[in-house]
Amino acid sequence: MDVIARYGGEEFIALLQDTDKDGAIKYAEKIRKLIENYPFRHKEKQPSGYVSVSGGVATFPNDGDTIDTVVRHADEALYIAKKSRRNKVTRYEPFQFSA
């Protein structure tokens, strides 16, 4: 069973059973587009004039062998998405974070 839950103040986490990274990217991108196109009331009062979502995707066990590691890697991918241009979904890739 897939689950979406609030993880922090403005953060949510999706636990997708039997889904590879490409499938998770498609899922996150679908959610991003739904939110981008949803006619929220008063969204014109947002600083950018619209409501957007950024996402980071990491999978178990490819991107970590513990839930903490996978969540940390998804958060790192989210940081890249926000830093690059927001309103974007980014997959975790180890080379992005190597020193």
For the annotated catalytic residues, the residue numbers are 10
For 92, residues 6+ apart whose C-beta sits below 8 A from its C-beta are 56, 57, 58, 63, 73, 74, 76, 77
Query: In whole angstroms, what is the distance from residue 63 CA to residue 35 CA?
Result: 27
Query: In whole angstroms, what is the distance from residue 34 CA to residue 31 CA?
Result: 5
